[in-house]
């Protein structure tokens, strides 16, 4: 991460996250003097919009995925209703630009009547330090698979557990390292025990350092992402940059980000049989894994922040130039009106 560092705001309950938003709002209102605001965190969308009005600062919004119409399904009734209202208000706000992290998200925003002039696609990037790492992976002993993600329903970790259980019945023992935490932990832990694969699944929780997460991925033969819902799928790009082939759900945004599955295998969402087949196929074919790893590594270079940051800077400059032109036009109009009044 680059720029000013703030504490991680996605962990914990809604009170902590609102507290983060309030703190960021206060700092910008009283201490900081930004030239432009780019709000990238959902909980900060409305505070950032309000701040831009109060201080007359141009503001753009980075949009990861559109959940309108899906909030209740994904988060339950109470949180879902609040999420629907919050996002509806956020989309209605007059942002100078909507920065969609994928064309899939851009299409969803277009369906919400966001004009093309205000909509631009700039994907998430990956740290060049990952790309610069030595990719001579050490030999991985055993059939180790890694998985990184929040333990929530939409990530469908249960599908991966079913696939591992099926592989065991086919005579293939697969060991999975799962990085992440969330409300589904106990349910998934019980499922692993009921399936008889408890000794094959390691729940590592949330790791404090990104480098620790990368090491888990690097020490596996395959990375698996069975999610049915993703805003972008940044972990897939990081996985490819680290030289590890992947197996993931064939959903629009993942198909887009991976250029149709480059660097891995795409499976039907929720289909544990397909995931099992793909797992066994990759584990049994080291040369195929190597081929996919090389393809994925090349693709990941397109998502380096060295490239994408230039596009971001150009966007900010365009917005600031428009703001300056608008201010000049407004100033000229006021001068014209004053002259007219003086003549009268």
Summarised one tens digit per residue, pLDDT across range 201-210 is: 999 999 988 8
User: Does one domain contain both 56 and 138?
Assistant: no
Structure-derived torsion over alpha carbons of residues 319, 325, 328, 333, reported in degrees to the nearest 10 = -110
**In the prediction, which pLDDT does 1 show?**
35
Q: Is pLDDT larger for residue 94 or for residue 33? A: 94
Whether residue 336 lies inside any domain: the answer is no
**Boundary residue ending a domain (90, 125, 160):** 125
Sign of CA dihedral 38, 43, 45, 46: negative
Q: Is pLDDT larger for residue 153 or for residue 177? A: 177
Work out the angle at residue 146's Cα, subtended by the Cα atoms of residues 210 and 178, and round it to the nearest 5 degrees: 75
**In the prediction, which pLDDT does 12 show?**
53
Q: Is pLDDT larger for residue 129 or for residue 80? A: 80
- Tell me the pLDDT band of 3, cut-offs 50, 70 and 90: very low
User: Does one domain contain both 289 and 156?
Assistant: yes
214 Cβ partners below 8 Å, 6+ apart?
130, 133, 238, 242
**Boundary residue ending a domain (125, 157, 189):** 125
User: Does one domain contain both 249 and 269?
Assistant: yes
User: Does one domain contain both 134 and 282?
Assistant: yes
Measured CA to CA, the distance from residue 133 to residue 121 in angstroms comes to 28
Whether residue 86 lies inside any domain: the answer is yes
| Residue 29 · residue 54 · CB < 8 Å | yes
Domains in the chain: how many in total? 2
The whole-number average pLDDT for the span 228-237 is 91
- DSSP code per residue over 167-183: HHHTT---EEEEEB--T
**In the prediction, which pLDDT does 321 show?**
94
pLDDT of residue 85 exceeding 50, the answer is yes
| Bridge partner residues of 144 (DSSP) | 175
The strand pair at 246-249 and 222-225 is best described as parallel
Q: Give the HSE-up count for residue 78: Cα atoms under 13 Å, Cβ half-sphere.
A: 1
The whole-number average pLDDT for the span 98-108 is 95
Average pLDDT taken over every residue of the chain = 88
Among 204, 226, 208, residue whose Cα is nearest residue 216: 204
| Residue 180 · residue 214 · CB < 8 Å | no
- Tell me the pLDDT band of 115, cut-offs 50, 70 and 90: very high
Whether residue 174 lies inside any domain: the answer is yes
**Boundary residue ending a domain (106, 125, 144):** 125
- Tell me the pLDDT band of 322, cut-offs 50, 70 and 90: very high
Query: What confidence tens digit (pLDDT) does each residue in 41-84 have?
Result: 899 999 999 999 999 999 999 999 999 999 998 888 998 999 99
The whole-number average pLDDT for the span 294-306 is 93
Measured CA to CA, the distance from residue 335 to residue 344 in angstroms comes to 14
The whole-number average pLDDT for the span 272-288 is 98
**In the prediction, which pLDDT does 210 show?**
87
CATH number of 237's domain: 3.40.50.2000
Q: Which of 122-131, 148-157, 189-198, 205-214 has the lowest mean pLDDT?
A: 122-131
> Domain containing 101: what range?
14-125
pLDDT of residue 336 exceeding 90, the answer is no
The whole-number average pLDDT for the span 90-103 is 95
**In the prediction, which pLDDT does 133 show?**
59
- Tell me the pLDDT band of 2, cut-offs 50, 70 and 90: very low
The whole-number average pLDDT for the span 145-174 is 96
| Residue 156 · residue 146 · CB < 8 Å | no
Helices (H), the chain: 14-26, 45-55, 71-75, 77-92, 103-110, 128-131, 157-169, 185-194, 210-218, 234-241, 252-257, 272-284, 286-300, 305-343
């Amino acid at each position: 991460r680059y720029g000013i560092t703030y504490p991680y705001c996605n962990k914990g309950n809604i009170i902590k996250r609102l507290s983060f938003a309030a703190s960021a709002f206060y700092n910008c209102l009283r201490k900081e003097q930004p030239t432009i605001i780019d709000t990238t965190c959902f909980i900060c969308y409305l505070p950032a919009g309000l701040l831009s009005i109060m201080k007359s600062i141009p503001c753009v919004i980075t949009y990861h995925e559109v959940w309108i119409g899906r909030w209740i399904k994904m988060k339950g009734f109470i949180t879902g209703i609040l999420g629907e209202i919050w996002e509806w208000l956020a989309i209605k706000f007059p942002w100078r630009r909507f920065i969609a992290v994928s064309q899939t998200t851009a299409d969803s925003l277009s369906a919400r009547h966001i004009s093309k002039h205000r909509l631009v696609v700039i994907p998430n990037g990956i740290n060049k330090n990952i790309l610069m790492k030595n990719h001579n992976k050490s030999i991985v002993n055993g059939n180790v698979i890694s998985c990184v993600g929040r333990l929530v329903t939409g990530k469908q970790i249960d599908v991966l557990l079913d696939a591992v259980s099926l592989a065991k019945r086919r005579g293939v023992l697969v060991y999975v390292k799962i990085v992440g935490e969330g409300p589904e932990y106990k349910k998934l832990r019980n499922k692993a025990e009921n399936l008889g694969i408890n000794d094959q699944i390691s729940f590592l929780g949330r790791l404090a350092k990104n480098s620790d997460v990368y090491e888990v991925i690097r020490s596996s033969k395959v990375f698996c992402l069975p999610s049915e819902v993703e805003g972008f799928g940044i972990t897939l790009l990081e996985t490819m940059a680290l030289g590890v082939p992947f197996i993931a759900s064939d959903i629009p945004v993942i198909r887009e980000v991976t250029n149709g599955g480059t660097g891995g295998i795409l499976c039907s969402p929720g289909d544990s049989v397909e995931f099992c087949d793909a797992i066994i196929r990759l584990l049994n074919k080291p040369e195929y894994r190597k081929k996919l790893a090389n393809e994925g590594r090349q693709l990941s270079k397109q998502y380096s922040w060295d490239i994408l940051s230039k596009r971001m800077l150009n966007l900010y400059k365009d917005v600031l130039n428009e703001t300056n032109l608008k201010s000049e036009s407004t100033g000229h109009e006021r001068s014209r009106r004053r002259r007219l009044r003086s003549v009268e």
